[in-house]
């Protein structure tokens, strides 16, 4: 393979997809491909797809449509589709978009170099979509060298798939059943990250706190992994997401409380505040159990921030049931939440209920989304106001996008802080500093770097 080939990647969906894309680019780099930001320069175009909502799937096919036209002018270009849409649609994608050269699934990432070689050798319609591999796709890679977006913070996938089968979700059908990555492989990757100067890692999984439940040869879970990773010098901050309320054990919460390197931030989707809806979603807990769990976290981990996710317009959701979701934001006392209008996904029970007359109109979904977002907005501001006048630890990421005069970073609780500092970006990026919060806003905090008088730079 020549060293002059270029690859362009579009990624849709969750952090796990973004991490998969980084790994794919790393694999292709070893094959001599150079990642580029301009699709017109590329010899290989890859879209890493998401199927969680219809809009993301439509967007993936719209990329393919545009790329098909590009390929008509430059026939040597190869087009690949990865991710959850590939996993579910397999060779049907070749029928819908015949100019696509490679379709590969979420469990075939490690095979990408071979698939690309075949396509460039002239093989048509290269397909690799396995239903369920016996090991995590990451465990097939002895040496993971992703092309990462950041030089400071890295995502590390530790578990793929999900065993829960919530009635609205496609993940168990697209990413398959839960497979935990071997701890040795995770520790190897994190040691490498530390050696390369990374300061923060976020352990990823659809249900990250069920990590290890599928191991047959050992008793080892997320808590044990957190203790081991905390020993790695150079890594200053460890996060994990997304948690499931049924898997967040006392042992994990205790690890967060005990380990200084594990951040006091937990993202646990609630999805609905009404018990009947929760039952129909097959979430496995009641609203009260969710409230009790959040309370337990706040009791055991002082200064922790819990955030959640909500879906509005689930099939059959009444005004009263929706109202309970709005109320639950303040009752649970969470710091923030992501929201989404319910989007029917093929194969799932909820999509069938919607077809059978329980559909909530788009107009009502949008109205409910707005009401819920306003409630979350108020709650986020209320929680952020608690930071006024406090001094917090911030890991500096770079210049603020909104105001380039300021720098930006995150607190231990994952809040964005934009701050004034008497140092340049280069002097502070990647450092842990103290910032006094002067102005809490609903979705970020503003402050000033705290500099001991003896360390103040002499201004010319």
- Return the residues of window 434-453 that contact ligand SF4 according to CB under 6 A: none
Q: Is the CB of 103 or the CB of 281 nearer to ligand SF4?
A: 281
The answer to whether the beta carbons of residues 139 and 133 sit under 8 Å apart is: no
Q: Residue 338 pairs with which residues in a beta bridge? A: 309
Helix, strand, or coil (residue 72): helix
Least separation in angstroms between CB 208 and ligand SF4: 11
- The piece of 159-167, 272-280, 330-338, 435-443 that touches ligand SF4 (CB under 6 A) is 159-167
Which residue(s) pair with 440 in the sheet?
A: 445
Q: Residue 55 CB: number of other CB atoms within 10 A?
A: 13
| Cα of 98 vs its chain's centroid, Å | 31
436-447 exposure pattern, b = at least 16 Cβ within 10 A, e = fewer: ebeebeeebbbb
Q: Which is nearer to ligand SF4, 171 or 336 (CB)?
A: 171
- Binding part of the chain for ligand SF4, among 69-77, 82-90, 133-141, 161-169 by CB under 6 A, reads 161-169
Binding to ligand SF4 by residue 206, rule CB under 6 A?
yes
| Shortest Å, Cβ 102 to ligand SF4 | 26
Does position 268 interact with ligand SF4 (CB under 6 A)? The reply is no
Q: Is 164 in the site for ligand SF4 (CB under 6 A)?
A: yes
> Residue 359 CB, nearest distance to ligand SF4 (Å)?
20
> 């993301």: which residue's tokens?
56
The answer to whether residue 171 forms part of the interface with ligand SF4 (CB under 6 A) is yes
The verdict on 245 binding ligand SF4 (CB under 6 A) reads no
Contact status: 172 vs ligand SF4 (CB under 6 A): yes
Phi and psi based region of residue 9 (left: phi greater than 0; alpha: psi -120 to 50; beta: remaining): beta
- SS3 assignment, position 326: helix
Contact pick of 166, 329, 372, 376 for ligand SF4 (by CB under 6 A): 166
- 244 is an interface residue for ligand SF4 by CB under 6 A: yes
User: Does the N-terminal peptide bond of residue 358 adopt cis geometry, omega within 30 degrees of 0?
Assistant: no
Structure tokens at 131: 């239903």
Neighbours of 154 (CB within 10 A): 23
Chosen residue from 136, 185, 207, 343 binding ligand SF4 by CB under 6 A: 207
> Is-contact 218 179, C-beta < 8 A?
no
Residues within the interface to ligand SF4 (CB under 6 A): 162, 164-166, 169, 171-172, 206-207, 244
């Amino acid at each position: 393979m020549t060293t002059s080939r270029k690859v362009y990647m579009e990624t849709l969906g969750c952090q796990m997809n973004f991490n998969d894309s980084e790994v794919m680019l790393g694999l292709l780099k070893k094959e001599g491909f150079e990642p580029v930001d301009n699709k017109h320069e590329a010899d290989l175009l890859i879209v890493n797809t998401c199927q969680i909502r219809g809009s993301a799937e439509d967007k993936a096919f719209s990329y393919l449509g545009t790329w098909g036209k590009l390929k008509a002018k430059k026939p040597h270009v190869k087009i690949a589709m990865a991710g959850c849409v590939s996993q579910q649609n397999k060779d049907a994608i070749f029928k819908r978009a015949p100019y696509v050269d490679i379709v590969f699934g979420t469990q075939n990432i490690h095979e990408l170099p071979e698939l690309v070689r075949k396509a460039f050798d002239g093989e048509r319609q290269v397909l690799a979509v396995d239903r369920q591999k016996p090991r995590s796709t990451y465990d097939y890679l002895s040496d993971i060298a992703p092309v990462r977006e950041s030089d400071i913070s890295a995502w590390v996938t530790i578990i793929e798939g999900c065993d829960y089968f919530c009635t609205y979700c496609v993940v168990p059908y697209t990413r398959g059943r839960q497979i935990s990555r071997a701890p040795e492989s995770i520790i190897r990757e994190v040691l490498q990250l530390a050696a390369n100067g990374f300061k923060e890692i976020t352990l990823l999984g659809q249900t990250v706190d069920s990590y290890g439940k599928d191991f047959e040869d050992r008793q080892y879970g997320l808590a044990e992994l957190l203790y081991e990773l905390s020993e790695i010098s150079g890594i200053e901050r460890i996060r994990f997401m997304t948690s499931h309320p049924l898997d967040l054990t006392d042992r994990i919460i205790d690890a967060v409380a005990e380990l200084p390197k594990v951040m006091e931030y937990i993202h646990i989707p609630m999805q609905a505040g009404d018990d009947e809806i929760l039952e129909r979603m097959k979430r496995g807990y009641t609203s009260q159990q969710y409230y009790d769990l959040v309370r337990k976290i706040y009791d055991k981990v002082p200064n922790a921030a819990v955030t959640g996710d909500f879906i509005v317009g689930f099939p059959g959701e009444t005004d009263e049931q929706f109202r309970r979701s709005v109320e639950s934001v303040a009752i649970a006392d969470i710091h923030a939440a992501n929201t989404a209008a319910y989007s029917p996904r093929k194969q799932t029970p909820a999509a069938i209920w919607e077809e059978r007359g329980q559909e909530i109109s788009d107009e009502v979904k949008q109205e409910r989304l707005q009401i819920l977002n306003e409630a979350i907005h108020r709650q986020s501001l209320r929680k952020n106001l608690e930071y006024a006048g406090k001094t917090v630890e911030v890991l500096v990421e770079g210049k603020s996008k909104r105001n380039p005069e300021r720098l930006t970073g995150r607190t231990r609780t994952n809040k964005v802080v934009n701050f004034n500092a008497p140092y340049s970006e280069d002097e502070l990026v990647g450092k842990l500093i103290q910032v006094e919060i002067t102005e809490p806003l609903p979705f970020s905090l503003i402050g000033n770097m705290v500099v001991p008088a003896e360390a103040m730079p002499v201004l010319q």
